[in-house]
Amino acid sequence: MPWQSYNTQTGVTTNYNGNTPDSGVASTSAGSSGNSGNQQNQILNLAAMSQYSPSQYTRQANGAVILNAGVTPIAGTTRTIGSGSTGSNGVPYGATPITNPAGLQGLTESQIYRDPSGRIYKLSTSGSDQIIATDPFLSEQMKDPTLKAWFDTITDESLKAKYLGNLKALEASIEAGKVLNPNIELTPDEIRELEHQASDFIDPYYNEQIDSWKQDLQISLDRLQEDYNNTIAQEEGIFKDELSNQANAEADAGLAFSSGRGVRLNKKITEENQQLSDLATSKARSAQDLGIQAERALGSRAVSRLGYNFGVGNYSASEGGLSRTGSRSLFSPGNLSGSIANEQATSRTTRANQLISDARANRVLDYNLLTR
């Protein structure tokens, strides 16, 4: 792309078209061998470095990794540089050309870079750019447009520094004779095994929660039923006493065989049936609340499989007392998955993904020494 450069020695601003004069790099073909004359073969990146034995290259004081003389370069892994070169075009990473004198205003000498031809660049103030600029090998990594584009999307300087540190650690591992292992994918059987491991790790915790829920639910339902049965028994005793007292009062008043006696008896029975219905409804609603809570936690299917009784008995009053006529239930499981079940599934997946990621990461470096 077109650009300009300001030369402080001549005071001339020069226009350029296409690539900058110092950005073009000649690539080495597969058939060339070793370093000849004043030319050296610089290893481009970590992937390229991993294809050579540590004995086949030398790290220069400036950090550049140079293929030893007599070693045939592998296509696409090196570039040709002049003898003694730093392995870069000389312009520090992240530096931008100053295209006119106004661009120099406010800048100190420590904030600029002058190349041998007199062109001036403004040095980057980014900490990560400065790290890259002082390390020729990292500079080579960032010549990969895909990597650089991704790296530039990171806005957190601490994350950038951490990434560069990891890159250098990986470089050190390769230089120590450890190679990149391209076979990082796991087989379906290996993935299933890791998923089983995740379940074995996660399930005991959630199973304990589920068991506690079941036990608490059963205890609550048993107590509800017990309280209801006791209330019915007490109610039946009271009702019978009231019928007896009413009959005695009718007899004492000489109304035992009057037509009004039946009306008063039926009224008493109707009132009792209404009271029994209200009591059954209240207890059924309490059971419903317990069922809903359990369903939201355990899930509809799990609650259905429990086989717990969420109903209460229906009772009817008559002159002879109370009798059970069926049962009433206001709760019926729906189609909820349950919060505990959801958390368990999510935790299983998270744990499995972590195990799979770790397994793949462990395969990135093959700790077998090279046998070239």
Neighbouring C-beta atoms of residue 137, cutoff 10 Å:
25
Q: Distance between alpha carbon 280 and the CA centroid of its chain, in Å?
A: 48
Nearest to 81 by CA among 12, 27, 3: 27
Question: DSSP secondary structure string, 113-140?
Answer: EE-TTSBEEEPP--HHHHHHHT-HHHHH
Domain ranges of the chain: 1-24+89-125, 27-80+128-180, 190-341
Structure tokens at 200: 């074995």
Residue 313, class by beta-carbon neighbours within 10 Å (0-12 exposed, 13-18 middle, 19+ buried)? middle
Round to whole Å and give the CA distance between 172 and 360: 20
Give the number of other CB atoms < 10 A from CB of residue 181: 15
Phi, psi of 198 (to 5 degrees): -65, -45
* The two structure tokens encoding residue 202: 């996660």
Query: For residue 50, what are its two tokens?
Result: 């991993």
Find, among 6, 76, 90, the residue nearest to 41 by Cα.
Answer: 76
Sheet holding 96-97, edge to edge: 96-97, 120-122, 112-114
Strand 65-67 and strand 57-59: the pairing is antiparallel
What tokens appear for 212 in the block? Answer: 């506690």
Tens of pLDDT along the chain (372 residues)? 344 444 444 444 444 443 333 333 333 333 344 554 557 888 877 778 878 888 888 887 666 788 898 888 898 888 777 544 343 456 776 677 887 777 777 777 777 777 777 778 777 777 777 777 777 677 777 777 777 777 778 777 777 777 777 777 777 777 776 655 555 567 788 888 999 999 999 999 999 999 999 999 999 999 999 999 999 999 999 988 888 888 888 777 777 677 777 788 889 889 999 999 999 999 999 999 999 999 999 999 888 888 888 888 889 998 888 999 888 888 888 888 899 989 999 999 999 989 988 887 666 554 443 333
Opening angle at CA 319, ends 318 and 320, nearest 5: 90
Q: pTM (2 decimals)?
A: 0.47
The answer to whether 23 and 3 have CB atoms below 8 angstroms apart is: no
- Please report which residue ranges of 176-299 form alpha helices under DSSP H: 188-252, 259-298
145: enclosing H helix or E strand: helix 145-152
Give the contacts of 315 (CB within 8 A, at least 6 positions apart).
232, 276, 280, 322, 323, 324, 325
